[in-house]
């Protein structure tokens, strides 16, 4: 024990004299390990791994909040949603526009939506509809994503009420990420506050 203590003391004295505790750069601080992030790429994305909850495929009900979304990964139009060819021209003239901060469909636009509804009601094909909500740039991105979502859902609800099968419609919001008019004036903002409807044609 004595020998150990002696050596320890000696060792301490030696170490301190070698490294020094004062007035010189002494503390040697190791740098936290740096990691480089890995990117996804073809073949290494486990896209369909880990199904965590089941899509809700219950009956299409009008809830207190509105029409429930239905899973579009199953059902009669699943193939169209997965691989359908988008036709943006078909309903280009039926794009509906909104007031600032509003997801209320204007009365003047209802006849456009009635035309779209009639197209699907008289059409027994596997064609389906993608409803795209957009906002102008005067809201923050998260806020506009939600606002665009609400606009798309309002159109979807109107079409469902008009008789279009809810399983045949899918909504998506782009927020302010896809303006149609890049200018920064009232007219451009009005053009960008819109819902576009895209016909999906099965391959």
Residue 72 is a binding residue for other proteins (CB under 8 A): yes
Residue 31 is a binding residue for other proteins (CB under 8 A): yes
Show the tokens assigned to 46: 């486990």
Contact 104, 98 (CB under 8 A): yes
Among 114, 139, 165, 201, binds other proteins (CB under 8 A): 139
Nearest approach, Cβ of residue 122 and other proteins (Å): 25
Nearest approach, Cβ of residue 197 and other proteins (Å): 14
Residue 183 is a binding residue for other proteins (CB under 8 A): no
Neighbour count for residue 83 (Cβ, 10 Å)? 10
For residue 58, list its beta bridge partners. none
Query: Distance between CA 20 and CA 49 in Å, rounded?
Result: 56
Residue 101 is a binding residue for other proteins (CB under 8 A): yes
Residue 21 is a binding residue for other proteins (CB under 8 A): yes
Residue 117 is a binding residue for other proteins (CB under 8 A): no
Query: Distance between CA 94 and CA 86 in Å, rounded?
Result: 16
Nearer to other proteins, 5 or 122 (CB): 5
Residue 11 is a binding residue for other proteins (CB under 8 A): yes
Residue 126 is a binding residue for other proteins (CB under 8 A): no
Query: Distance between CA 37 and CA 114 in Å, rounded?
Result: 50
Query: Distance between CA 116 and CA 112 in Å, rounded?
Result: 7
Nearer to other proteins, 29 or 125 (CB): 29
Q: Which stretch binds other proteins (CB under 8 A): 64-72, 88-96, 112-120, 121-129?
A: 64-72
Phi and psi (nearest 5°) for 188?
Answer: -65, -45
Residue 111 is a binding residue for other proteins (CB under 8 A): no
Pick the closest to residue 113 from 124, 105, 102 (CA basis): 105
Nearer to other proteins, 30 or 122 (CB): 30
């Amino acid at each position: 024990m004595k020998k150990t203590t002696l050596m320890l003391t000696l060792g301490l004295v030696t170490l301190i004299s070698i490294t020094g505790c004062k007035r010189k750069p002494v503390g040697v601080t190791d740098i936290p390990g740096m990691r480089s992030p890995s990117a996804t790429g073809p073949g290494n994305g486990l896209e369909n791994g880990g199904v965590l909850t089941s899509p809700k495929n219950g009956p299409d009900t009008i809830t207190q909040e509105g029409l429930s979304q239905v899973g579009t990964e199953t059902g009669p139009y699943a193939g169209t949603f997965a691989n359908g060819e988008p036709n943006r021209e078909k309903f280009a003239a039926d794009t509906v526009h909104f007031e600032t901060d509003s997801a209320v469909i204007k009365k003047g636009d209802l006849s456009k939506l009635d035309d779209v509804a009639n197209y699907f009601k008289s059409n027994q094909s596997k064609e389906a509809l993608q409803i795209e909500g957009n906002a102008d740039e005067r809201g923050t991105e998260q806020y506009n994503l939600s606002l665009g979502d609400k606009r798309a859902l309002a159109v979807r609800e109107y079409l469902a009420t008009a008789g279009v099968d809810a399983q045949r419609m899918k909504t998506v919001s782009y927020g302010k990420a896809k303006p149609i008019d890049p200018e920064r004036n009232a007219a451009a903002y009005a053009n960008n506050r819109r819902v576009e409807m895209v016909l999906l044609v099965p391959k």
